[in-house]
Amino acid sequence: MKPDDVFHAQLQTTITSLRYWAPSIADAAHMQQDETADYFKFAVTPFIAAGCPFELILHNNQKYDLAIAGETYEGRATPSLDLFLPFVEAIADGNVVQRHWISRLTGMQRSTETIVTLANGYVWRETRGPVDEAASLVDDGAELRERRFLPYRR
């Protein structure tokens, strides 16, 4: 963790960069911003139906929450604040894949993996459900279904 004063200065820089980026997609998505003493919330809903909606909350305690395409990841440690502008740009560019592992025997979803590939090649990935089972497609006849998203502008 970074010292609080260093983190807060970098957080303000990140918030400013997200605010400057927002008008660049204003014609392709609805945006909502909210800020308190404890967090900054940035929610984007694309006008195109196959675009990936997201809500990013940057907390002052060096954690972030993300709701992306129906999946929610809360209380994650902030790796680097430099990640977030390229991250939202990648989402707007359609570089998001969701992988769902479904048991063919029960029809139940075993796990969901969300992957965002940034322009610099960095891959952000989070999983809900048992990670070790997600890689196996043969033990109970699991089926992998991928959902891909379109860029906000086509």
116 HSE (CA, 13 A, CB side): 24
Q: Give the side-chain half-sphere CA count within 13 A for 81.
A: 23
Task: Report the pLDDT value the prediction gives residue 102, as an integer from 0 to 100.
Answer: 87
Closest CA to 56 of 36, 74, 30: 74
pLDDT of the residue at 134? 45
The mean pLDDT value of the chain amounts to 89
Identify the band that residue 26 occupies on the pLDDT scale cut at 50, 70 and 90: very high
* Residue-wise pLDDT tens digits, 94-143: 999 999 988 888 888 888 999 999 999 999 999 987 754 444 545 566 78
pTM over 0.85: yes
Higher pLDDT among residues 128 and 59, named by residue = 59
Tokens of 54: 């997201």
Does the pLDDT value for residue 33 go beyond 70?
yes
Q: Are 96 and 114 in contact (CB under 8 A)?
A: yes
The b-or-e profile of 65-79 (16+ CB within 10 A means b, else e) is: bbebbebeeeeeebe
